[in-house]
Structure 1
Amino acid sequence: MKLKKISKKQSLVILFIALIILACYIYVIKSTNILLSGQALVYNAHAETIGSMRLRIPKIDVNARVESMGLTSLGAMDAPKGPSNVGLYNLGPRPGEVGNSVMDGHFGWKNKIPAVFDNLNKLVKGDKIYVDNGKGSTRVFVVRQLRVYKVDQDASEVFISSDGKTHLNLITCSGLWDSRVKNRPNRLVVFADME
């Protein structure tokens, strides 16, 4: 069997089509949000304002406004800009939806200003956490456990759940401040389940 020679014009057309396919592939890859363990997220971003949502933890005197948080340029969950609010991870479920809803807040703010999660480590199994959705409904969560992660440790289980249940996980920094890297070495996570 003899193969037909491809003309220069046909070669350029094939090359052009291949470049278009490659450009489309790169666009799709860059548009897909990938988190931690490489699993693609399937939740829609919650672009609307959530300023009327509040997190309440009576045991540690928390009554905080909730901000929408995405990812930093390094792929980590962003944190609220100030010490008083908490951030809701906007690429995951909202509190009350199936899966792991994740909120973060600061511990140990500069100049000894109190931060929202300064006493998060005082929660114990059975303590209650309340999320007011700002529309007259409150979700109640019960603390299941507290766990400390190293800052570079795999924390996929904080964000991804496959048990079909509704969870709320709270994250804050812990450990001594490292002025060289301007960060704390650990993350305290409170795992809670909807009542």
Structure 2
Amino acid sequence: MTKLLFLLQKFKSLQVNKSVAIITIALVVVVLVIISLIILNGRAFSPIGRVNTAVEDRVKTVSAFKEVAKPVYLPPIKIQVKEKVLDVEEISVEEGGFLGVPSSWQTAGWYKEGAKPGEEGNVLVDGHYDTNTGAPGAFWGLKDLQVGDKVLLTDKLGRVFEYSVITKSSIGISDPERWQVFASGKDKVLTLITCGGVWDYASHTYNKRLVITAVFVKMEKNW
């Protein structure tokens, strides 16, 4: 009987040890799982992850810089034709669809709905050929321009834009094609307009307009 009791106690001891072993193994598994999760989470913050974030930040910075770096174009304040430098004021289309003229005989007028110096499109500038007394006006010398001559525009920042004359023509004040002087495209063009032809006493103006077309060459330093 004593031997039997001893065997029973030993068997129970083995069962307890087995249970402890199972619990220990389970705990080890849990610990390993936790460690694995920590390692995996840590990879999200690894140096590689930080590098990718840095690259993305640089891309965003470059993109933002490109937006800021877009060219800024401003109205002209001066124009130089040959040796003559003139102030420039803003003009618009008047009632009846006619292009306005400068308020002074010796001032050029920039069409404010058109392009600005250096910008894509048509920079349209006009000026008086002569005064009401017949004295030379701002654009008196326009008739002497030849293909290849240089015209300079200065904007409000003092930047100087060079244009080169490519065409010289006249158009009647009643010509249906006269509106082509307002035409604008992707080319950087400067159009200069003044009176031409002969004086029309009936309409109190010259019967033609002298039109000079020039193309953008470069932006120069301040004169």
User: What TM-score results when the alignment is normalised by the length of structure 1?
Assistant: 0.69
Structure 1 residue runs of 4+, over 3 Å off? none
C-alpha contact (below 8 Å) 2:188/2:215 kept by paired residues: yes
Aligned match of 2:77: 53
Question: Is 1:70 matched up with 2:92?
Answer: yes
Aligned match of 1:103: 125
Aligned match of 1:126: 148
**Offset, 1:103:** 0.3
Larger radius of gyration: 2
Question: Could you list the per-position Cα deviations for residues 134-162 of structure 1 after superposition, in whole angstroms to 9, with x for gaps in the alignment?
Answer: 31211000000101000011223321133
C-alpha contact (below 8 Å) 1:141/1:192 kept by paired residues: yes
Give 1:160's aligned amino acid: A
Q: Which one has more relative contact order, counting CA pairs under 8 Å at least 6 apart?
A: 1
C-alpha contact (below 8 Å) 2:192/2:213 kept by paired residues: yes
Q: SS of the residue aligned with 2:101?
A: coil
**Offset, 1:175:** 1.4
Structure 2: runs of 5+ lacking an equivalent: 1-72, 218-223
Aligned match of 1:156: 179
C-alpha contact (below 8 Å) 2:108/2:126 kept by paired residues: yes
Question: Could you list the per-position Cα deviations for residues 86-139 of structure 1 after superposition, in whole angstroms to 9, with x for gaps in the alignment?
Answer: 100111111211011100000121223320111211101100000011312110
Q: SS of the residue aligned with 1:157?
A: helix
Question: Is 1:113 matched up with 2:138?
Answer: no
Greater displacement, 140-149 / 108-117? 108-117
Aligned length: 144
Whole-angstrom distance in 1 between the partners of 2:166 and 2:129: 21
Question: Could you list the per-position Cα deviations for residues 46-91 of structure 1 after superposition, in whole angstroms to 9, with x for gaps in the alignment?
Answer: 9x9x5x710011x2x3211111001110111100122100100111
Aligned match of 2:196: 174
Give 2:159's aligned amino acid: S
Q: SS of the residue aligned with 1:155?
A: helix
**Offset, 1:192:** 0.2
**Alpha-carbon RMSD:** 1.8
| Aligned residue among 79, 91, 96 for 2:101 | 79
Question: Is 1:93 matched up with 2:112?
Answer: no
Give 1:126's aligned amino acid: G
Whole-angstrom distance in 1 between the partners of 2:91 and 2:134: 24
Percent sequence identity over aligned pairs: 28
Whole-angstrom distance in 2 between the partners of 1:108 and 1:82: 11
C-alpha contact (below 8 Å) 1:88/1:103 kept by paired residues: yes
Whole-angstrom distance in 2 between the partners of 1:165 and 1:109: 33
Alignment of 1:132-151 (within 5 A): 132-151=154-173
C-alpha contact (below 8 Å) 2:125/2:191 kept by paired residues: yes
Whole-angstrom distance in 2 between the partners of 1:186 and 1:146: 13
User: What TM-score results when the alignment is normalised by the length of structure 2?
Assistant: 0.61
Structure 1: runs of 5+ lacking an equivalent: 1-45
Relative to total residues, which structure has the larger helix share, 1 or 2? 2
